[in-house]
Amino acid sequence: MTARRIRLGVNVDHVATIRNARGGLSPDPVRAALLAIEAGADGITAHLREDRRHIRDADMARLKAEISKPEISKPLNFEMAATEQMLDIALQTKPHAVCLVPERRTERTTEGGLDVIGGHDHLVPFVDELNRAGIRVSLFIEPSAEAIDAAASIKAPVVELHTGAWCHAVEVGELEAAEREFARIVAAAAHTTERGLECHAGHGLDYATARRIAALPQIVELNIGHFLVGEAVFIGLAESIRAMRRAIDEGAGAA
- For residues 47 to 66, the per-residue mask of contacts with ligand PXP, x marking binding by CB under 6 A and - elsewhere, is x-------------------
CA 193 to chain centre: 19
Of 26, 31, 130, which is closest to residue 78 (Cα–Cα)? Answer: 130
Catalytic residue status for 79:
yes
On whether the CB atoms of residues 82 and 48 are closer than 8 A, the answer is no
**Residue 79 in contact with ligand PXP, rule: CB under 6 A:** yes
Shortest Cβ 223–ligand PXP spacing (Å): 4
| Segment lying near ligand PXP (by CB under 6 A), choices 88-96, 127-135, 143-151, 222-230 | 222-230
Q: How far apart are CA 37 and CA 34, in angstroms?
A: 5
Shortest CB 156 distance to ligand PXP, Å: 13
| Candidate list 14, 54, 79, 200, residue with the active-site label | 79
- Run of H or E including 20: helix 13-22
For ligand PXP, the closer CB: 93 or 223: 223
| Catalytic status, residue 203 | yes
Strands (DSSP E) contained in 12-61 are 43-47
The residues facing 222 across adjacent strands are: 8, 201
Q: Does 249 bind ligand PXP (CB under 6 A)?
A: no
Helix, strand, coil percentages for the chain (3-state, nearest 5)? 50, 15, 35
Which one of 54, 162, 191, 203 is the catalytic residue? 203
As annotated, the active-site residues are: 47, 79, 203
**Residues that bind ligand PXP in the complex, under the rule CB under 6 A:** 11, 13, 47, 79, 99, 101, 109-110, 140, 160, 202-205, 223-227
